[in-house]
Amino acid sequence: MKLFLAIFLVISLDSVAQLQRVDQPWPTRQQLGWQQMEFYLFAHFGPNSFTDKEWGEGTEPEDIFNPTDLDCRQWCRIAKAAGAKGIIITAKHHDGFCLWPSKYSTHTVRESKWKNGKGDVLKELSQACKEYGLKFGVYLSPWDRNHPEYGTPAYNDVFVNMMKEIFANYGPVWELWWDGANGEGPNGKKQVYDWRRFETTVRSLSPNTVIFSDIGPDIRWCGNENGIAGETNWNYLDTAGFTRGKGAPPTDALSQGNINGKNWIPAECDVSIRPGWFYHPQEDDKVKTPEQLFQLYLKSVGRGANLLLNVPPDRTGRISQQDSAALIGFKKLRDQSFNKIYVECNSDSVVVNFRNLIRTNCIMLKESLNHGQKVARFHLHLVDSNNGSQDINGTTIGSKRIITFSTRTLKRVCLVIDVYKTSTVPAVSISEGLIPENLMGQ
């Protein structure tokens, strides 16, 4: 298998004096830290893992949840080996079943026969994440198809109290994931969520936690569950007049962001390694290959978003061999494809002359986002060993932009920023890499 090399080029801001704030926000320290995570795992786990359902009814008996060999340390070992930097667990899905013994529900692990009602998945995973140096995140569905208070104002108290339990007992929680689904509860009513109160609760209890939903406030959905960000991808988003769930912005806005958006809300791309989100034994032969995962990486992280890859534990409570093998193969492809050559320059254009000819099919650009996202259009001018040339045009760069092309032996690369949003020159980095040829053009 033939490998390709990769280039990192940085254009620094001319001077601190030019860093006046424009009418768009800058990212917070927490958002910048989140963007550096790039790739982490989702773990859909609960009664659906045992019933072959994707959305449970909320009427499933608690005893249906009974993993025979739960091993959250195994999850973390595999995540670490795959280069993932964290795990987000479905602490409560739409069926209302809590993977911790919540005081505010009677539909929890406490009522199951698993570990004689003494088990606590959140405790085991949060401890394992700390042991392996991974970030711990929590998916908490506001919809609850089991709780008798759902559909009444009292349920907002329940949801707030559940969040308080999680932050108090299992923190620090790096990312909190709110699903936008809102259906009927056991009383046939839908809930009017008090989102402002929910946000205020998180900010007061855990100010370093980043919150995901259709409209943030910190991280936005990319508009699809295919793991693909828009080729143009702004970290800005307009949220005025929109709500979570059915009232979310249109999918093209979620995918691309808004060039003049009033909020800094970068995109997260969620996708499952299997056709479904929960484990189904009949899907053991349908796990995405390392090559397919690599393509998703190019279209998510390679377009300035983060990749949240769902890897559902099986009915024993472990990540399956098929999923593990795909993850390790994915890590190998990333390791052998991308190099780390960094160049810095104080200009809106830079020429990189290679001391030795470089055979490559990949250029990686990285924009400094400390003071906002600025590159709106750029082009690369590639010069090969025979003085042949090729121009490649692009729009946004953002956290990372991976550009692929037919394999060439290059002696020079020129990056020109054609349009940027402010009077300051954006900071951009460049690197080059080599991607296995069988992955090109997919």
3-state secondary structure 27-55: CCHHHHHHHCCCEEEEECCCCHHHHCCCC
Q: Could you give the maximum distance between any two Cα atoms of the chain, in Å?
A: 73
Rounded distance between C-alpha atoms, residue 384 and residue 359, angstroms: 9
Question: Where are the domains positioned within the chain?
Answer: 4-18+339-439, 29-337
Q: Which of 63, 65, 177, 77 is nearest to 125 (CA)?
A: 77
- Can you give the pLDDT at residue 9? 52
pLDDT of amino acid 16:
32
Are the C-beta atoms of 58 and 145 separated by less than 8 Å?
Answer: yes
For residue 266, cis peptide bond before it (omega within 30 degrees of 0): no
CATH 2.60.120.260 fits 4-18+339-439, yes or no: yes
Using left for φ > 0, alpha for ψ between -120 and 50, and beta otherwise, residue 217 falls in alpha
415: which strand partners? 350, 380
pTM (2 decimals)?
0.93
Structure tokens at 389: 């040339």
CATH code for the part of the protein at 29-337:
3.20.20.80
Are the CB atoms for 61 and 399 separated by under 8 Å? no
CA 85 – CA 76 distance, rounded (Å): 9
Alpha helices in 219-289 (DSSP H): 251-256
Bridge-based pairing of strands 263-264 and 342-345 is unpaired
Distance from C-alpha of 334 to C-alpha of 307, rounded to nearest angstrom: 14
Please give the pLDDT value at position 435: 77
How does pLDDT run along the chain (442 residues), one tens digit per residue?
334 445 555 444 333 334 444 567 999 999 999 999 999 999 999 999 999 999 999 999 999 999 999 999 999 999 999 999 999 999 999 999 999 999 999 999 999 999 999 999 999 999 999 999 999 999 999 999 999 999 999 999 999 999 999 999 999 999 999 998 888 888 899 999 999 999 999 999 999 999 999 999 999 999 999 999 999 999 999 999 999 989 999 999 999 999 999 999 999 999 999 999 999 999 999 999 999 999 999 999 999 999 999 999 999 999 999 999 999 999 999 998 886 665 655 667 788 888 889 888 889 999 889 989 999 999 999 999 999 999 999 999 999 999 999 999 999 999 988 887 765 556 677 776 777 776 765 5
The bridge status of strand 210-213 relative to strand 219-221 is parallel
